[in-house]
Amino acid sequence: MDSKSQISGKLSEICPNGRVSSGISGLDKMLNGGIPQGHIVVVMGDPGTGKTTLALQYIHDGLDKGESCIYISIEEEKDSLISTAASYGWELQEYIENNKLEFLKLDLSDIKTLARRIRVELPELIESSGASRIAIDSISLFNIMFDNSIESRIRLVELNKTVKNSGVTALYTSETSMKNLFHSKDGIIEYSADGILFLQQSEIASDIRLVLRIIKMRRTLHDRLYRPYDITENGIIVYPTEMVFVDEGTGV
Ligand SMILES: Nc1ncnc2c1ncn2[C@@H]1O[C@H](COP(=O)(O)OP(=O)(O)OP(=O)(O)O)[C@@H](O)[C@H]1O
Ligand SMILES: [Mg+2]
């Protein structure tokens, strides 16, 4: 058996129904059972809407189920993320020590080393780790690491190819565009992603609510309505049957 079929055999044992839990039961309901295995899903949202929390929750859920996972952080330090996760009650240190969680921090200040790490280290890590889940926080920062938009597009295509070949189910966080609602800041990632989750802070009847919408999710039925969610001390909770009415004309 070649290594690719070995990986896909192992991954189908991990998720026999072909779905990977997002780590949030309400969101899994909206997704008709979870994220289709092998997808690249972008969590797009304004500052403070819980993108990093969702990425950590997704990774912690995999670790909790005995899976191997990778977290790639751009800019945010490992210790800071470990503390953020701990504030939700998710202890990551032991998983790092037991080699269940590979943590890679990419530093924007050292461009020369960075280029090598993205070209060599990152694909090696994804291919060799046998991980079933990966989070990249954030893909917007990944895209601004390169000199021009053509190079960032080439690198993104390479990254996606590596992710797809490895069979890992990926969650990328992304900042939203100020000009185009439902689009990312760089306007690239939404077209190559299999799924897009859109997180928003919305003013509803003079109250501020966090709302979530699934913009796209290939190869599955899914809910398309805005649903409210909360960021609690135990992480994100999505209310998959609650209705909210958002005025898209006002942007946020
Ligand atoms: N331990 C906690 N318990 C409850 N709520 C928290 C906790 N930690 C953070 N929050 C809430 O989550 C928000 C930030 O979430 P998070 O950092 O995941 O957002 P983000 O979208 O990644 O933000 P950014 O755009 O800055 O990267 C905070 O502003 C706060 O409201
Ligand atoms: Mg963040």
Ligand 2 centre to CA of 224 (Å) is 24
Q: What is the pTM of this model?
A: 0.93
Burial of 110: CB neighbours in 10 Å, binned 0-12, 13-18, 19+: exposed
65-to-29, 46, 50, 62, 162 alpha-carbon distances in Å: 19, 30, 22, 5, 24
Q: Is there an atom of ligand 1 within 6 Å of 51 CB?
A: yes
Ligand 1 centre to CA of 50 (Å) is 5
Residue 86: its H or E element: helix 78-87
What's the pLDDT tens digit per position in 45-55?
A: 999 999 999 99
Q: Which two three-digit tokens encode residue 68?
A: 């191997």
Q: Is there an atom of ligand 1 within 6 Å of 48 CB?
A: yes
Q: Is there an atom of ligand 1 within 6 Å of 89 CB?
A: no
**Mean per-residue pLDDT, 221-245:** 96
**Is the dihedral angle over the CA atoms 57, 183, 168, 238 positive or is it negative?**
positive
* Residue with CA closest to ligand 1 atom 28: 48
Question: Tell me, what's the pLDDT at 4?
Answer: 59
Atom of ligand 1 nearest to the CA of 47: 25
Would you place residue 251 in the very low, low, confident or very high pLDDT band (cuts 50, 70, 90)? very low
For the cut 60, the answer to whether the pLDDT of residue 110 exceeds it is yes
CATH architecture, range 3-250: 3-Layer(aba) Sandwich (3.40)
Atom of ligand 1 nearest to the CA of 45: 21
* Residue with CA closest to ligand 1 atom 23: 48
Burial of 103: CB neighbours in 10 Å, binned 0-12, 13-18, 19+: middle
How far apart, in whole angstroms, are the C-alpha atoms of residue 19 and residue 22?
9
Judge whether 20 and 132 are in contact, CB under 8 Å: yes
7-11, 71-75, 91-95: the lowest-pLDDT one: 7-11
Q: Is there an atom of ligand 1 within 6 Å of 231 CB?
A: yes
| Domain limits, the chain | 3-250
Residue of 1, 29, 98 whose CA lies nearest to 242: 29
Kindly give, in sequence order, each residue whose CB lies less than 8 Å from that of residue 236, ignoring residues fewer than 6 positions away: 24, 27, 50, 53, 54, 57, 229, 230
238-to-65, 75, 101, 125, 173 alpha-carbon distances in Å: 21, 28, 26, 32, 18
In angstroms and rounded to an integer, the radius of gyration of the C-alpha atoms of the chain is 17
What's the pLDDT tens digit per position in 157-168?
A: 999 999 999 999
